[in-house]
Amino acid sequence: MKINKNFLKLGENYLFLIISEKVKRFKEKFPKKDIISLGIGDVTLPVCEAAVSAGLKAIEEMASAETFKGYGPNNGYLFLREKICKSYSERGVNISVDEVFISDGSKSDIGNISDIFSNENVCLIPDPTYPVYVDSNIMAGREITYCNAEERNEFLPTPIPEYEKSDLIYICSPNNPTGAAYSHEQLKSWVDFALSRNSVILFDSAYEAFVSNDVPHSIFEIEGARKCAIEFRSFSKTAGFTGMRCAYTIISKELEYDDVKINELWSRRQSTKFNGVPYVIQRAAEATLSAEGKTQIKKNIDYYRKNAEIIMQKLRHAKVKFFGGINSPYIWMKCPESMKSWKFFDFILEDAGVIGIPGSGFGKNGENFFRLACFGNHERTEEAIERLCRSILKKL
């Protein structure tokens, strides 16, 4: 018996473990200290009313033989796929229902997509990054090249000849952790690059609902993307579904490698290895795309956006450099005086009682940066950022 030894090459999932250990020790030492977290990347507002009532109605359908549902269609119910296509067409993008695959999360799809591509491919992953891109490719034993997202390119790297060998290109826009979002021109340069090298772009737009200026919401807004890209979207951050679990992946029927249609390959993979998303959840997700649901989820996104504004305003006032926050729930602040991320974490926890995420936890280029999230309530967010800025100003 042999195991997949690639799993032994994975780094430990240290980041959140170390943070919770440090916070635990701090609480034991100072039990009375009020601690506020600006670190958590999970939503806090409840699921909107439209989704809850659609979900309740759907569960009631299960109680009667006439409306009961058993196994659902492999790639998701048509009612949800149609609504998703409609939401794309409202932004001028044509997607057909058989190009939409409903799933239980973008994390699953981004991790699993690896199955349908050869392990001989080389991947190109931004540094810093959402860790799933790296870990899923380590598990597959693939070679990884990193592309540097740095302050000098505003955390938005574009193609250069050094990336010549890349087959699977991971792009996350708006980005976790940096909050940076690609413009049309920048994304076009990636699409052209992928087309010229016969590569595939794996485009993660989990945070597209936070786009507030004219940057693209979808890679399919870029000409040529249907022939070289797969898009991953989720109801998690868009509609507060992190506990409900529903997402979707778009694979155009024009996408082909080795003379094989990728859409069909993924459908084949899913029909064997994935059970689908519960009917009740798909009905709830559908409701978030109704006129009423859209208004309700926008209210929640606006609430988080207001937190981002509060944080950005205070950081500007304290003359702290930062990225993100405009099209994203994340603010990527530069640690003062080139302080290392973990040193800043300790300093701000001890001095201000505030928790954030050390940038170095997302890759080497995250060193000297710190991720703040906007998913808390206004009062506590304001209190936290005031304390954080006060500590920084005291230190300088």
Binding residues vs ligand PLP (CB under 6 A): 41, 105-107, 130, 172, 176, 204, 206, 234, 236, 242, 247
Query: Which residue's CB is nearer to ligand PLP, number 250 or number 389?
Result: 250
Query: Which residue's CB is nearer to ligand PLP, number 181 or number 352?
Result: 181
The single-letter DSSP state of residue 337 is G
Residue 224 one-letter amino acid:
G
Q: How far apart are CB 186 and ligand PLP at their closest, in Å?
A: 18
Q: How far apart are CB 206 and ligand PLP at their closest, in Å?
A: 4
Q: How far apart are CB 394 and ligand PLP at their closest, in Å?
A: 33
* CB-nearest residue to ligand PLP: 105
Nearest CA among 286, 362, 390 for reference residue 39: 362
Q: Which strand (E) or helix (H) includes residue 370?
A: strand 369-373
Nearest CA among 18, 127, 28 for reference residue 355: 18
Distances from the Cα of 390 to the Cα of 271, 369, 380, angstroms? 55, 18, 15
What does residue 250 show for φ and ψ, rounded to 5 degrees?
-110, 120
Q: How far apart are CB 85 and ligand PLP at their closest, in Å?
A: 19
Query: Which residue's CB is nearer to ligand PLP, number 247 or number 250?
Result: 247
Query: Which residue's CB is nearer to ligand PLP, number 187 or number 318?
Result: 187
User: Rounded to an integer, what distance in angstroms lies between the CA atom of residue 32 and that of residue 28?
Assistant: 9
Residue 97 one-letter amino acid:
V
Q: How far apart are CB 190 and ligand PLP at their closest, in Å?
A: 17
Nearest CA among 82, 117, 114 for reference residue 99: 82
Nearest CA among 238, 283, 247, 240 for reference residue 55: 283
Token pair in block for residue 234: 């989720």
Query: Which residue's CB is nearer to ligand PLP, number 41 or number 293?
Result: 41
Q: How far apart are CB 247 and ligand PLP at their closest, in Å?
A: 4
Query: Which residue's CB is nearer to ligand PLP, number 240 or number 293?
Result: 240
Q: Residue 370 forms beta bridges with which residues?
A: 333, 358
Angle between helices 341-352 and 378-395 (to 10 degrees): 110
User: Rounded to an integer, what distance in angstroms lies between the CA atom of residue 371 and that of residue 373?
Assistant: 7
Query: Which residue's CB is nearer to ligand PLP, number 108 or number 290?
Result: 108
Q: How far apart are CB 204 and ligand PLP at their closest, in Å?
A: 5
